[in-house]
Amino acid sequence: ERQGMKFKRFSGVHTSDDLDYKNNVWDKGHLAPAATFDCTKDMLDETFSFLNCALQHSNLNRGVWAQLEKFERELALSYDVSVRVDLIFDEFSLKLTTGATVASFFVKTISYDDKNLIIRFPNKDVSGMKWRDFIQ
């Protein structure tokens, strides 16, 4: 059960915090998905860290990003799967009044069965689209 879980901060490490996500369109988008690591309470708890999240448009996070995470879990039933997530910051990256910078893009590289699948998502509302629309 994820309800009521809070994201942890680590002293000495500068990350986003709760204020960056307040009253705006940005979700705390898990980079390593909580649903993939919900085998035990301790494993799930490890995913709730500001080191494991990024400012992600809520419609991206809850839409195509979540669809792709489901695909990754299904793929892992048949293959050894490795997932890399890169955040792309550029001259168009939004800087919030709190001081946090929002990535312009997220790039996922999914490796399995000697294949690499690269998906590049813009960090914006992509409602109505499928994750496959963003394959590179």
> Model confidence over 58-72: pLDDT tens digits?
999 999 999 999 999
Average pLDDT over the chain, rounded to an integer = 93
pLDDT of residue 126: 98
Residue 38 above 80 pLDDT? no
Question: Which amino acid type is present at position 111?
Answer: S
Residue 25 above 80 pLDDT? yes
Q: What is the mean pLDDT of residues 90-99?
A: 97
The encoded tokens of residue 29 equal: 């988008």
Q: What is the mean pLDDT of residues 104-114?
A: 98
* 3-state SS class at 74: helix
* 3-state SS class at 121: strand
Indicate the pLDDT class of residue 2, thresholds 50, 70 and 90.
low
Cα–Cα distances in angstroms (integers) from residue 50 to residues 18, 38, 119, in the given order: 9, 18, 23
pLDDT of residue 10: 84
pLDDT of residue 43: 78
Cβ neighbours of residue 32 under 8 Å, at least 6 residues apart? 47, 52
pTM of the model: 0.88
Taking the C-alpha atoms of residue 50 and residue 3, their distance in angstroms, rounded to an integer, is 17
